[in-house]
Structure 1
Amino acid sequence: MALVGIFLLAACGNTGQEDTADLPQVPAAEQNEDIAELQANVSQVAGNLPTDFTISIYQGAGLQAGDEVLFSELLADGKPVVLNFWAGLCPPCRVEMPDLQAVSDAYQGQVLLFGLDVGPFTGLGSNEDGRKLLNELAITYPAGTTADPNVVREYGILGMPTTYFITPDGEIHDTWTGLLTEEKLSELVEDLLAASNS
C-alpha cells in the first residue's frame, strides 16, 4: 500500500499553471480497478513467500530512508527480485557487495536487487554497522532491514550471506548460501529472468 500512496502523492505534486481541460480524464471506476488489481497482486505474491515482512528502508527502491514497506509490495512491481541477506560485520558480505552492485547496475530495470541487513539477528552487527558499510563501499542498490526476527528462521538463513532468487509472483526459484562473484550472480540472474518469462 505504501507504493500506491507514493504514486498518488507524486501525482498530487503538480503545482504548475497548465490547463487541465485538454488532459485525458480517467474514470474513478477505472482507477479503483487499478488499485484493486495491485492489491490482488500483492496478496498473491505474499501468499507465495515463506513469510511476508516489513522492511525499514536504508536507501533506494524509490523510497526515502526510514520508509517502511512490505516485501511483497516490492515484488508487486512485476520484476524478479534478488534478495540478499547480509550483515554489517560479515566479512564475506563485505567482499561480495561490489559484485552485487555491478550486477544491480547491469540489470537495472529488469531485476530488483535488494539487500536485507539481518545483522542484529545473527550477531553480526547493528543496523548502524550495516548503514556504515553501505556508505563505506559506496553501495547504491536498494537496501534496508527488518524488525521481524522470524525472517531469518522462515527463510532458512544458516550462513551469511544468503541470496534468494524470487520470481515476480513470489515463488522462490533458487537460493545461494555463501559469497557470490559477479560472474556467478550474473548466471543466476539470467536463469531467474528466463524462469520469470516462461
Structure 2
Amino acid sequence: MRAVPAAAASVLVIGVLAGCASADPIAEQYRSGSEQNYVAGDGSVLEIAAESRDEPVTFAGELDTGGTLSSSDFDGDILVVNFWYASCPPCRAEAPDLEAVNLAYADKGVSFLGVNVRDDSAAALAFADTFNVTYPSLLDREGRILLEFSGLVAPNAVPTTLVLDRQSRVAARVLGQLSDRSILESLIDRVLAEK
C-alpha cells in the first residue's frame, strides 16, 4: 500500500520540477540543444540606487595589446565594463553601439573597458579591428575578473554590460545584448547626474 503513495509523490515532484524548469530561460537554452556555446541574457536592466550599492570592485588584468590595467586606472571616472568574446553573436551585434556610446561620452568622465572571457589576444584584437572598437580590453580566460563581480551583481550571461559609479561600485547591469544604445546612455546619464 505504501508503493502507491510513494509513486504518486514521485510523479508530483517530477511535475513540479518540470514546471519550474520550463520557466528558466537558461535551462531552456540548454534543453533546446542549440549548441550556441553561450548563455544569452534577455537584455534586462538592473539599476541599483546609490545608497544600496555594494563595496567598490577592484580588479587587474592583462590587456589584449600587452601590458596590464587595473580598476585604479579609472579612479574618479564612471566605468562601463562589457563582458564579451569574439565569436559571440550578440557581442558582435552590440559592438557598434558600445563604441558609439564610448565616443559620445569620452570627454564626460566616462571610460569603457572590455573584458574578454574566452579569447586569446589575437582573436580579441581582430574583433576590435573588425568592429572599430577603440577602448581597451582585458583578457580573462581564467575568470578572475568575472569572479570579482560575481558576489555583487553577477554578469551571468555574455554579453553583460555593467556601469560602475565614480567610487567603482556597480550602479547598473544590462544582462545580455544591448538592444538600443539609448538604454546605456540613460544609465550613464543617471550616474553622471549623481553628486
Q: Which TM bucket (shorter chain)? A: 0.5 to 0.7
Helix, strand or coil at the partner of 2:127 = helix
CA distance in 2 between counterparts of 1:185 and 1:131 reads 24
Query: 2:124 matched to which residue of 1?
Result: 130
Aligned-partner residue type, residue 48 of structure 1: E
Query: Aligned residue pairs: how many?
Result: 136
Give the alignment's TM-score, normalised by structure 1.
0.62
CA distance in 2 between counterparts of 1:70 and 1:113 reads 13
Query: 1:177 matched to which residue of 2?
Result: 175
Gaps of 5+ in 1: 1-46, 59-64, 120-124
Identical amino acids, percent of aligned pairs = 26
1:88 maps to 2:94: no
Give the alignment's TM-score, normalised by structure 2.
0.63
Query: CA shift at 1:100, angstroms?
Result: 0.6
Q: State whether residues 115 and 143 of structure 1, in contact with CA within 8 Å, keep that contact through their aligned partners in structure 2.
A: yes
Deviating beyond 4 angstroms after TM superposition, the runs of 4 or more aligned structure 1 residues are none
Query: CA shift at 1:96, angstroms?
Result: 0.5
Q: Which has the higher contact order (CA 8 A, sep 6+)?
A: 2
Gaps of 5+ in 2: 1-53
1:66 maps to 2:73: no
Q: State whether residues 159 and 177 of structure 2, in contact with CA within 8 Å, keep that contact through their aligned partners in structure 1.
A: yes
Query: 1:56 matched to which residue of 2?
Result: 62
RMSD of aligned residue pairs (Cα, Å): 2.0
Query: 1:114 matched to which residue of 2?
Result: 113
1:14-54 per-residue CA deviation (whole Å, 9 max, x = no partner) reads xxxxxxxxxxxxxxxxxxxxxxxxxxxxxxxxx9334x222
Helix, strand or coil at the partner of 2:188 = helix
Helix, strand or coil at the partner of 1:185 = helix
CA distance in 2 between counterparts of 1:56 and 1:186 reads 28
Q: State whether residues 85 and 118 of structure 1, in contact with CA within 8 Å, keep that contact through their aligned partners in structure 2.
A: yes
1:139 maps to 2:133: yes
CA distance in 1 between counterparts of 2:133 and 2:162 reads 19
Aligned-partner residue type, residue 177 of structure 1: L
Query: 1:160 matched to which residue of 2?
Result: 158
Query: CA shift at 1:130, angstroms?
Result: 1.9
Cα distance change of structure 1 residues 173 and 93 upon mapping to structure 2, 3 Å threshold:
same
Q: State whether residues 117 and 127 of structure 1, in contact with CA within 8 Å, keep that contact through their aligned partners in structure 2.
A: no
CA distance in 2 between counterparts of 1:57 and 1:127 reads 8
Helix, strand or coil at the partner of 2:171 = strand
1:88-127 per-residue CA deviation (whole Å, 9 max, x = no partner) reads 11110111010011101111122001111112xxxxx444
Larger-gyration structure (1/2): 2
Q: State whether residues 83 and 116 of structure 1, in contact with CA within 8 Å, keep that contact through their aligned partners in structure 2.
A: yes
Q: State whether residues 80 and 111 of structure 2, in contact with CA within 8 Å, keep that contact through their aligned partners in structure 1.
A: yes
